[in-house]
Amino acid sequence: MDDTYLVEIRLARTRWQIKETTRAITQKSGAERYRERHPHVTLYGPFTLKDPTRVQFLLDTIGTIAGSIGAVPFTLDGWERRDGMHGGVVAFSVSPSPALVRLSATLARALSCFTISLNAWDLRPDEKWFHVTIANRLPPGKAEEIVSGLTAPGYDASGSPATGPNTAGLRTRLLALAERMGVIHQRRNVPIRPVLLDDAGLRITVMHKDMILGEYDLLRQQWLAHEEIHNPRSWQQSLALYRRSAGFELSAPVAHEPGEIFLIADLHLGHANIIRYCSRPFVHSDVAEMDRVLIANWNYRVAPRNPVFFLGDLRYGGDARPDAEYRVLLNGRITFVAGNHDKNTRDTVPSALLACDGQEFLLVHDPANAPAGFSGWVIHGHHHNNDLRAFPFIDFAGKKINVSAEVIGYSPVSLQEICRIIRERTPGSEEPLLLRYPYVQ
């Protein structure tokens, strides 16, 4: 094998979900041997060094460029196929932020002075193909076959067994129990639809052949010791810095008008697997950290006298604390709308109606439960960030508003803010607003 190097960003929040989706696609299509095991976005390379002794200079150059960048946002948006250097490629498409484009181009200009790139895109950084590989080195026709299958109507690569509701429920409970006991590592059946997920590069990884040569933390602005690279505590530090820089973790009360009405859904407190299923910016092994941040965000955003409408699924799972223990920790005069995972529904309502700016809003957990003849706006949760094309933050055409925690940045959003966005949108425009927080649109 050539003495090659590669500079990349490995996925952070979406890593588990993309790996599971990749596994499902390649297994279903018979392309498992071509599967990419470590999903990443290539920044530069593969390449060789003109002078093999300049390894430290390589790292120093990358560190200098990365030293003041911070997290680098991008969006995973569907999939595509292309012809690669060694055969067909099927990949998740990446919509890069300007920061990602600048980082890649800057690296290409600096590194090309003392490296020999084996990637034609490095010679044309303005035309670079940003992607996350699903499978590569595919034989002729295989990439086209995979993508044709993925785009076929009704395609489902989840591999879900056909079972009745009682059997499926028992099977799910037994698998969950075995996973908690450490007997098995459960692989969730992932339904395959074109992905639309936001992520951000938190670290730059430099590969030498198949080994990690070094990893630079963009939030801490330093090269990591080798033992830190895969350490969950180290990732906790990186993710905490990222949450604060992105506004996902508040550190002080947020000023607002006394009469503001707040909304949020789907906290899923106590539910570790929601971190993976919905790409939340936390370490899967520490659900207590997620609970702490979500509760603090709520209380920084909401004053004790503010009206709050919580649209279902406060907690979930056998390891979660009782519903009442979470409720007393939350500020506001709260109306609880029942969610499909809520056990105690004595103090909940099935739906609620609000008015703002002459508009009528129906509040319900699952938008499918809205009356067919309702002509106002439906504010809902239930779908999290799992289908942003159908259930974005604001769907102007369908008059739906998704306030699941992941979609609105992990803290409640005010009804007045929603009304302002509706009021100020470009006249005649029905382009959806995918996420409340500023990301690649």
Domain boundaries, the chain: 5-157+192-244, 249-424
C-alpha span between 429 and 434 (Å, rounded): 14
| pLDDT for res 153 | 60
Q: Give domain 5-157+192-244's CATH architecture.
A: Alpha-Beta Complex (3.90)
pLDDT at 169 (0 to 100): 43
Q: Where are the beta strands (DSSP E) in 300-357?
A: 307-310, 333-337, 348-349, 352-356
Residue 37 backbone phi and psi in degrees, to 5: -85, -25
The interaxial angle of helices 98-111 and 55-66, nearest 10 deg, is: 150
Distance CA(248)–CA(80), nearest Å, equals 31
Residue from 89, 86, 94, 93 nearest 135 by CA: 89
Distance CA 433, CA 441 (A): 8
> Residue 338: helix, strand or coil by DSSP?
coil
In this prediction, residue 165 carries a pLDDT of 33
Measured distance CA(306)–CA(333) in Å, rounded: 6
pLDDT at site 84 = 73
Q: Which residue has the tokens 């992105």?
A: 246
| Residue 345: predicted pLDDT | 66
Q: What's the confidence (pLDDT) of residue 154?
A: 55
Indicate yes or no: pTM above 0.85: yes
CA distance 386 to 196: 8
Q: Which residues contact 405 (CB under 8 A, 6 or more apart)?
A: 264, 265, 266, 267, 268, 294, 384
Question: Which parts of 3-109 are beta strand (E)?
Answer: 5-10, 40-49, 72-84, 87-96
319 Cβ contact partners less than 8 Å away, ≥ 6 residues apart? 180, 270, 272, 287
Q: Is 4 left (phi over 0), alpha (psi -120 to 50) or beta?
A: beta
Long-range residue pairs from 217-222, CB within 8 A, at least 24 positions apart, any chain: 218/66, 218/69, 218/70, 218/71, 218/72, 219/70, 219/71, 219/245, 221/66, 221/67, 221/68
Please give the angle made by the CA atoms of 186, 190 and 193, to the nearest 5 degrees.
Answer: 170
pLDDT less than 50: residues of the chain: 1, 157-187, 440-441
* Residue type (1 letter), 225: A
Sequence-distant (6+) residues with CB within 8 A of 414 are 256, 260, 261, 262, 263
CATH of domain 249-424: 3.60.21.10
